[in-house]
Amino acid sequence: MGIAQVFHVDRDHPRMRLVHQAAEILRRGGLIVHPTDTTYAIGAHLENKRGIEKLYTLKKKSLKRPLSYLCGDLANIAQFAQVSDEAYRTMKRLLPGPYTFILDANRNAPRTTQTQRKEIGIRIPDDPFCRALIQEVGMPVISTSAYVHGGDLLADPDDILKVLGGYVDLIVDAGIIPPEPSTIISFVGDEPTLVRQGKASLISTRRPRLRLASRKGKAILGPVFSAMLNLFPVGAS
């Protein structure tokens, strides 16, 4: 593989010609680096088994940690994951936005996208280019954040080109994106679990605090969680 192509885009007003070309690269089995609402990500087509395996290799990512399905809407999610009523209500309120939801995979989810526990990560990014790309591809894009194993998230497209230019087919340059990891909420098990506090905050001084309890280093969103979602808007703070 040679050095990746680079497309320069306006994140808020992406040219559809470039979106179409990026989607074609994914459909042909290529990997692309593209912007999201939290950081740059490396994406592969859902049906590109070799490409998905390459994502794990590039990141030296553990099979215990799921890759993300970047979806265009909630209908995409139900195609590949088991979605409880509580999870659906929560995602409907919070998405699109800087959240990743961990859900049990269903039989439609390719095995290469699942953890050893048969879980997948779900995102609907609040980024115009990313959502236009997903719509153009016609199915979720499998994704992981752009960084080198053991290093920081990559924010500058020039650095991305230096580090990943020989491993991907396209870099979509939307300027420097200060990386802010997504907030991760798991709906696997009996109670929703706050796995990682990221860009979006579930706790704010401007609204009553959610009750949190500790379990194995993670926060359990208490029984008041769903009620709070109905009463207060929850988003980035």
CA gap 70, 97 in Å, rounded: 11
The answer to whether the Cα torsion of 79, 68, 192, 205 is positive or negative is negative
The one-letter code for the residue type at 114 is Q
Phi, psi of 146 (to 5 degrees): -85, 105
Q: Does 183 map to a domain?
A: yes
Sheet bearing 40-45, strands edge to edge: 5-8, 170-173, 32-35, 40-45, 141-145, 68-70, 119-123, 99-104, 183-186, 193-196, 218-221, 212-215
Q: Does 117 map to a domain?
A: yes
Structural domain tally of the chain? Answer: 1
SS3 labels along 34-45: EECCCCEEEEEE
Is the Cβ–Cβ distance between 108 and 85 less than 8 Å? no
Q: Tell me the CA distances in angstroms from 109 to 12, 106, 195, 203, one per residue in order.
A: 31, 6, 22, 32
What pLDDT score was predicted for residue 51?
Answer: 94
Q: Does 52 map to a domain?
A: yes
What is the extent of the structural domain holding 156?
A: 5-194
Q: Does 232 map to a domain?
A: no
The one-letter code for the residue type at 23 is A
Phi, psi of 219 (to 5 degrees): -100, 130
What pLDDT score was predicted for residue 237?
Answer: 29
Q: Does 113 map to a domain?
A: yes
What pLDDT score was predicted for residue 220?
Answer: 57
pTM for the structure as a whole = 0.85
Q: Does 228 map to a domain?
A: no
CATH number at residue 157: 3.90.870.10
Q: Does 32 map to a domain?
A: yes
Is the Cβ–Cβ distance between 86 and 130 less than 8 Å? no
Q: Does 237 map to a domain?
A: no
User: Which of 208, 212, 176 is CA-nearest to residue 197?
Assistant: 212
What pLDDT score was predicted for residue 65?
Answer: 72
Per-block mean pLDDT, blocks of 10 residues, the chain (237 long): 91 95 97 97 96 86 77 93 94 95 96 92 97 96 85 92 95 96 91 90 44 48 47 37
